[in-house]
Amino acid sequence: MRPTTEDVRRVATALPRTEEALVRDRIKFRVRRIVYVALSRDETLMGFAFPREERADLVAAEPDKFLLPGESDMRFNWVVARLDALDVTEMSELVVDAWRMCVPKSVAAAHAATLQHFPESLPDSDAL
């Protein structure tokens, strides 16, 4: 099932320190000033934090799913996914991994420990 904006919002806002912002008519999720997920204005594309040195391989491996960011965003750790090419589980993993790139390691570790101790707090892809 294709993830919706509400699915992305549900996953992102469950992560510690996340804020949702509307910037130039685009929904963005960030930790302080660092954006880790952004939706296109038409909500068909999801940009997300991703290691710059690995993104060319990701796009080459699945070009129907992933694309390089626009030229102005090439300097950032960023890649773009077509939401209709993802399922909810994969979208959730991309959002959480992007968030991990933006928070202190101690925050990410504490969140991971919470999930290990309380597995019922893991996102249920059927519920998303």
| pLDDT at residue 116 in the model | 62
Average pLDDT over residues 106-126: 65
Q: Is 53 part of a structural domain of the chain?
A: yes
The answer on pLDDT for 36 being more than 50 is: yes
Tens digit of each residue's pLDDT (9 = 90 or more) over 46-87: 999 999 999 999 999 999 999 999 999 999 999 999 999 999
Which of the four pLDDT bands, split at 50, 70 and 90, describes residue 39? very high
DSSP output for 8-42: HHHHHHTSTTEEEEEETTEEEEEETTEEEEEE-TT
Whether the CB-CB separation of 4 and 33 falls below 8 Å is answered with: no
CATH code: domain of residue 86: 3.90.1150.30
Asked whether residue 123 is assigned to any structural domain, the reply reads no
Q: Which of 110, 88, 108, 106 is nearest to 98 (CA)?
A: 108
Structural domain boundaries, residue 12: 5-106
